[in-house]
Amino acid sequence: MIYQVLTEIRVKTRQGEALLTSGSMIRLDPAKASPLIESGKIKPLKSQKTLMTEARRESLLDCMIATWETISRPYFKTGYKLTSEVEKAESVIVRVQSEVLEGKAKLEDFRNACIIWAKAVRKNANET
């Protein structure tokens, strides 16, 4: 089972002794974890969703923002018409972004959703 470290602890590993700081994750046998839980040094993680650290979440958001800005910037500079197809593509981007942050999709999926949005905008521009 996976646990989150609440206060700094030293643990023995196959490679020697390691210092775990608050917020670190550790995989332990429940019997070995019990005394650490009782002393308030660790707590069990209930779901996979909590395994993503805030730093990882921020990193993913930074990557998605950079991807979006790179793909969309030319269209915002020249302007574009908001059609139902473009709105649909934008809603897909929002959904995929949420899925990436939940670990259900990859950054590549987000990039592909942005590319589909750009194609919808280009298609609309070519029709006018």
* Residue 47 reports pLDDT greater than 70: no
List CB contacts of 90: < 8 A, sequence separation 6 or more.
117
| Rounded Cα distance, 87 and 77, in Å | 18
* pTM score above 0.75: no
Find the mean pLDDT for residues 55-74.
Answer: 93
The domains of the chain are located at: 2-51, 54-127
* Residue 37 reports pLDDT greater than 80: yes
